[in-house]
């Protein structure tokens, strides 16, 4: 009977740990930028391993017990500022796994806003999202970024926005400009802007991206 050899290569999932190969130079550079809280533009064609590189960098940070909080926000499929805010809120549990502390931190920042709790079906983790209303929707982005800033006062953070080019399709006027102005105030957070459409991302940032990796 002929034995079936298992394919050692993964094509459809994230690749980390022993399965992660090559990209060692890019990994070292990315970790260096994270340590220095420098923002990074990470772009390449689809399926070039951008998300796997980020996850491997986060894994290295946890393995070395580096005092840096990690957060990976998947923006694929978002179509509005509201979607951006909701997705990012739902990822706050990556920075604070203790639900009581998370509720206390977020609740203190959003005193007049109701929070919704839900269970992530993929991980089983409890996630938060704010209740939107016409009167508060315009202030939520700033309050969300202030929450991230407050977390960075306790320890450095690295936050990856995956498929960031989705932001270019949002209907809200001035969203990119407002987001950029808030990000520029955060000195202890490394933001990684990940995308497969380089021209869209560089146009959004007026070509003022300090570091670029994984060209393709």
Would residue 27 count as lying in a domain? yes
Would residue 6 count as lying in a domain? no
Give me the mean pLDDT over the 19-24 stretch. 61
What secondary structure letter does DSSP report for 161?
E
Domain total of the chain: 1
Would residue 107 count as lying in a domain? yes
Would residue 7 count as lying in a domain? no
Would residue 116 count as lying in a domain? yes
Of 84 and 139, the one with more pLDDT: 84
Of 201 and 61, the one with more pLDDT: 61
By residue range, what is the domain housing residue 140? 22-213
Give the model confidence (pLDDT) of 122-173 as tens digits: 778 889 999 887 657 778 999 999 999 999 999 999 999 999 999 988 988 8
The pLDDT assigned to 46 comes to 66
- Give the pair of three-digit tokens for residue 56: 């491997």
- The C-alpha atoms of residue 212 and residue 194 are separated, in whole angstroms, by 10
Would residue 16 count as lying in a domain? no
pLDDT, averaged across the chain:
83
- Which CATH number fits the domain that encloses residue 75? 3.40.50.300
pLDDT over 70 at 16, yes or no: no
pLDDT over 50 at 79, yes or no: yes
Of 5 and 173, the one with more pLDDT: 173
Would residue 17 count as lying in a domain? no
In the chain, pLDDT over 90 holds for what percent of residues?
A: 52
Would residue 11 count as lying in a domain? no
Tell which residue, 73, 90, 87, has the closest CA to residue 163: 73
pLDDT over 50 at 29, yes or no: yes
């Amino acid at each position: 009977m002929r034995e079936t050899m298992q394919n050692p290569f993964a094509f459809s999932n994230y690749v980390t740990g022993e399965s992660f190969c090559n990209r060692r130079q890019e990994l070292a550079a990315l970790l260096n930028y994270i340590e220095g809280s420098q923002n990074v533009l990470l772009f390449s064609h689809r399926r070039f391993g951008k998300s796997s590189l980020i996850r491997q960098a986060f894994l290295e940070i946890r393995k070395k017990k580096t005092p840096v909080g990690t957060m990976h926000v998947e923006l694929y499929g978002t179509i509005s500022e509201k979607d951006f805010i909701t997705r990012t809120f739902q990822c706050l549990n990556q920075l604070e796994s203790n639900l009581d502390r998370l509720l206390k931190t977020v609740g203190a920042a959003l005193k007049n806003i109701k929070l919704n709790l839900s269970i992530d079906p993929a991980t089983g983790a409890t996630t938060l999202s704010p209740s939107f209303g016409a009167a508060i929707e315009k202030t939520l982005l700033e309050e969300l970024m202030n929450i991230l800033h407050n977390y960075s006062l306790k320890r450095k953070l690295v936050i990856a926005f995956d498929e960031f080019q989705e932001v270019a399709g949002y209907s809200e006027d001035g969203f990119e400009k407002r987001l950029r102005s808030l990000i520029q105030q955060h000195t202890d957070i490394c933001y990684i802007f990940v995308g497969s459409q380089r021209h869209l991302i560089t146009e959004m940032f007026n070509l003022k991206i300090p570091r670029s990796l994984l060209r393709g």
